[in-house]
Structure 1
Amino acid sequence: MKKDSQYDLNIARLADKTHHFAFELDRAFFEQFDQQLIPDGKVHADVTLTKTERLLTLDFDLQGTVRQICDRSLDEYDQEVEAHEQLLVRFGDRVEELDDNVLQITPDTQTLPIAQHLFDYIGLALPMKKLHPRFQNEPDENPEADAKLIFTTRQEGDEDDDNNDDIDPRWNALRNLN
């Protein structure tokens, strides 16, 4: 990814209160990343940053469309995306990612880059199966796709466990614990 300060939040100058930022993510934004998942798009990102003495809370609201390639027909289409994510940034002795949505930065950090987070949240909002809108209302070719899997340890032909004499006697002792 290329370094673009347009998507860096200058947190050193911010007062301890709530701040609002808006970003328009277009082709230039997606071209910064060395990837083929999202070649183009028009996404509006509202970022609400709540700064306190020990913690930054960033709420991301993303809405728009991104260009995708249909898995079935290889036609390009516009996929609507909507995402609402939260990122917590705490202050500590070193910079590290503690969890998917929890970062730790040093207190002397001047700027917080959010471009990668914006891209990741858009990528997570995409469906696993990318289908052109003309295919989305068609029934699945596999009728068993919606069937539920039921797990059982008993195989067909097995008799009731109470009548089975091949059971280890230790299990019988456990049955009497009721």
Structure 2
Amino acid sequence: MKNLKAFDIELFKLGLGKHEFSFEIGKDFFDNFEDSLTKNGKLTARISLDKSEVLIRAELEIKGVVELVCDRSLRTFEEPIDVSHKLLVKYGEEFDDSEDDIIILDQNLPVWNVANIIYEFIGLQVPYKKIHPELREDDDEPLDLGLEFDFLSLEPEDELVYSTGDTETDEEEEENEGEGEETNENVDPRWQALQKLKDQNKKK
């Protein structure tokens, strides 16, 4: 990667103790990554290293903004990035970054290029769904499913009761049906439909 040599840290030349490094990140940085989720940004990455005889403790901080394209409106907008992460850096036979908090560096390479790890942590901050800030409030509104009514809003007198047994006598059924006919004019048509279903079940 032609423009990333500035991200080299020569670990072998570092003495024991703490060391600070700062890197400015912009369009030239992202141009080195073909499948980058963003092509522009303005960020600062700071890496603090605490070197001992057996390992290096690293603290990574990345702050700034990246430029994204809204999935809905295709307008560009700036997304804030704020990363803070701690790592352990060790030497081994070959490079290995499969663990989240541990990096194994090839013991035969005196230089650690931190461009990739910076890029990866920026990528983790980029939202999967890229929506312009002006449209996010609309995006968070609940969906209208077109329901006519909500059972959770029923008043106590509107409760539906289901019984598995037929305990009413024929005379009581006729009496209750007669009362229902008298009050049908005042009943909500939606409840009438439910009442018909109940009556059909009783007759089966």
TM-score range, shorter chain: 0.7 to 0.9
Cα deviation, residue 78, structure 1: 0.8
- 1:80–1:98 distance in 2 versus 1, CA, 3 Å: closer
Aligned-partner residue type, residue 46 of structure 1: R
- Within a 5 Å distance, the mapping from 1:68-87 to structure 2 comes to 68-87=68-87
Aligned-partner residue type, residue 44 of structure 1: T
SS at match of 1:116: helix
Unaligned runs of 5+ in 2: 146-204
Q: 1:83-116: per-residue Cα shift (whole Å, max 9, x none)? A: 1122321122333234133221244431101101
SS at match of 2:66: strand
* TM-score, normalization by structure 1: 0.73
- 1:62–1:17 distance in 2 versus 1, CA, 3 Å: same
Partner in structure 2 of residue 23 of structure 1: 23
8 Å contact 2:30–2:36 — kept in the other structure?
no
Aligned-partner residue type, residue 6 of structure 1: A
- Within a 5 Å distance, the mapping from 1:12-161 to structure 2 comes to 12-138=12-138, 139-142=140-143
Q: 1:70-91: per-residue Cα shift (whole Å, max 9, x none)? A: 1111111111111112232112
Cα deviation, residue 128, structure 1: 2.1
Cα deviation, residue 2, structure 1: 4.2
- 1:143–1:44 distance in 2 versus 1, CA, 3 Å: farther
Q: Which has the higher contact order (CA 8 A, sep 6+)?
A: 1
Unaligned runs of 5+ in 1: 145-178
Q: 1:122-145: per-residue Cα shift (whole Å, max 9, x none)? A: 11012222111101222335369x
Cα deviation, residue 31, structure 1: 0.6
8 Å contact 1:98–1:104 — kept in the other structure?
no
Aligned-partner residue type, residue 115 of structure 2: A
8 Å contact 2:68–2:77 — kept in the other structure?
yes
SS at match of 1:9: strand
- 1:141–1:73 distance in 2 versus 1, CA, 3 Å: farther
Aligned-partner residue type, residue 105 of structure 2: I
* TM-score, normalization by structure 2: 0.65
Separation in structure 2 between the aligned mates of residue 17 and residue 41 of structure 1, nearest angstrom: 32
Provide the alpha-carbon RMSD of the alignment: 1.9
Runs of 4+ more than 6 Å apart = none
8 Å contact 2:31–2:39 — kept in the other structure?
yes
8 Å contact 2:20–2:47 — kept in the other structure?
yes
Separation in structure 2 between the aligned mates of residue 3 and residue 63 of structure 1, nearest angstrom: 21
